[in-house]
Structure 1
Amino acid sequence: MSATERVVQSILYELGCVMIGWSVMQFVPHEGQPLALMVIFSLLAMVWNFVFNWIFDKLVPGDRLARGPVIRTVHAVLFEGLFMLATVPIIMYMMHMSFWMAFVTDITMTLVILGYTYVYNWVYDRARLLFVEA
């Protein structure tokens, strides 16, 4: 996958994440601006998505379409779990939340995004056959 395609993949993914994260934040008591938080998370995640997927592809070479449920689950859990290490303190600061509330909020968003990540990458790989490799 080229660098340009990785940028497109990241932007499409992050647009979905911003919308999903903002929606989740509507159900959480907060004092900050959830849309601003989601845009910041999106920018951080785009960089992380590029770096993480580059490393993951080097460690798990081969046909991306041949990746089964186990590999895709490992991919999604690692991506979101490592990203969460950075996001809890940001939620605490920007949303004026305690550590516990920020942690629960982040876990909730992470679980929702985890399902989205799994489905997004599966669909993207198949759509790639039609638009990129054709």
Structure 2
Amino acid sequence: MSPTTRRVLQAVLYELVAIAAVGPALSLAFHEPQTSTFALAVVLSTIALAWNYVFNWIFERWESRQGVGGRSLARRLAHGAGFEGGLAVILVPVMSLWLDISPSAAFVANLGLLVFFFVYAIAFTWAFDRAFGLPASAVKNAPKGVDA
């Protein structure tokens, strides 16, 4: 599968599962109707989808220049932290405006989502790599025992 096709497939699958999980959770957390929180989840997911593509492109460019291939736990943790940290910077203002709350309140509200998505990003990426194989950027010089 080409790198572009792989990135698009990964991002779309990731966001579809995320919308299914986050929509109801937002409704409960913010005591809002599900129609409103579903719409917010779609907006957040659309932003995250674009960020996912951009971040993975950046990450894979960095990864391809590393001397050791494969995706160790440390590399997966760095991937998850980088993705979620960048996404938080983007999403906090959106949540603040949508929910009509202060940026600091939106940040606090976003912490629960960050914890969920940090774990979810690592688990999803691992599962995706197991199902579709590692990208070319991670195969080069992969040590034995470090695989998808």
Q: TM-score over 0.5 for the alignment?
A: yes
The runs of 5 or more residues in structure 2 that have no matched partner are 134-148
Q: TM-score, normalised by structure 1?
A: 0.86
Residue equivalent to 1:110: 114
**Could you tell me which of 64, 71, 85 is aligned with 1:67?**
71
- Whose radius of gyration is greater, 1 or 2? 2
Q: TM-score, normalised by structure 2?
A: 0.78
Deviation readout 1:63-94 (Å, 9 max, x if unpaired)? xx821111100100110111111111111111
Residue equivalent to 2:12: 11
Report the CA distance between 1:106 and its aligned residue: 0.7
CA distance in 2, matches of 1:104, 1:123: 29
CA distance in 1, matches of 2:17, 2:52: 14
The runs of 5 or more residues in structure 1 that have no matched partner are 130-134
CA distance in 2, matches of 1:81, 1:40: 18
CA distance in 1, matches of 2:40, 2:30: 14
Report the CA distance between 1:5 and its aligned residue: 2.2
CA distance in 2, matches of 1:101, 1:4: 37
Residue equivalent to 1:45: 48
Of all paired residues, the percent bearing the same amino acid is 31
Residue equivalent to 1:93: 97
Q: State the superposition RMSD in angstroms.
A: 2.2
What amino acid maps onto 1:46 in structure 2?
A: L
Write out the 4+ residue segments of structure 1 that deviate beyond 4 Å after TM superposition: none
What amino acid maps onto 2:103 in structure 1?
A: F
Name whichever of 90-99 and 4-13 sits farther off.
Answer: 90-99
Q: Aligned residue pairs: how many?
A: 129
